[in-house]
Structure 1
């Protein structure tokens, strides 16, 4: 075989090899694409365009719908927590004992001096025994709950004390009053009531009167204490 023919044969063989390689790559790629398409089959997973719609009105959080908020009050049985208004025997007894107490106890201190008590002296003495000048312009004993135990008024109508020009104010006496039915511990308050009156009577130089405008005696105090003890 001459050289020219051998060259043609080699070229043809080379072309055949190249064509074979191209065909092999083509069929391999085609087979791989078919396998991938078979793996993601739309009909198997229901992802057809007609079945999958997006609601433009819903935001992304609609993917995970929120549960309705729990109403805590609805979890409680209303009947089980409904308060009863039936008064217990103990409460009824306490109410009856309250009505047996005097509605008002009123004692007074009357000045020995003809001019009566001076405003400045009264304010100083009231402050020393812990009485507070209240919004209604009388002095009050205030408990730890900010409630009034008893009050002190002037004998001059309308019973108030001025908050200015105290040196010019005079009154013939002062009146102490308490309402036992409104108190949780009327006997305890009454003892403080009497102690305060005695202290002020000594400091202001006055005479203590009972509710009958008679000198207050130990017997009258004992009677009131007995009533308040029940």
Structure 2
């Protein structure tokens, strides 16, 4: 499955089911995209000739996944659609995606990348990252995100933005790096899934990008805060581009 096909699947799910299922499918494609592909969730998937359909037994609550590759059919049952799909995927010799276990309250899982808005983007192998690779922040593991330096983290925070902001500040002070990217590829996408979901990741990345780009233009952090306060007010609810 190409990346374009993955996004088409995301938008199809957004129309046919609720947005949370679509976001789950999008994340599965984004995090597990290997060229061979995986299957996750309540949907039909096709991966290099493998098609999987998941259905739920309303009486038992179990999920059954049926996989076909044109030569054989495999049917397996599990407690969740993700697990049933994963079992079938593995039965055909592919690497399966399984969503990570849920975190306890006030803990957040997210990715961070260093993608400065400069003509020269340091590569993952740049000596600039030697220190943080040797001593990554607590709760984080170093990742090579397509040549960019990145981290995959589980950190405390009442909200996602709090957890991200605290970590970004820690890295800036200790290593002199302003992390600018949360791994969102298409910033015009959206999900109203609360303060800890995918929508929050989009907001966080937009804010980090604004902070870096504003500084390049000569704006201070205080300037950016004043702009936000002037634009949306203090404690005023704003939804769908309209204040209320």
Pairwise same-fold verdict (TM > 0.5): no
Q: 1 or 2 for the larger relative contact order (CA 8 Å, sep ≥6)?
A: 1
Structure number, greater radius of gyration: 1
Question: TM-score, normalization: structure 1?
Answer: 0.22
Q: Which has the higher strand share?
A: 2
Question: TM-score, normalization: structure 2?
Answer: 0.21
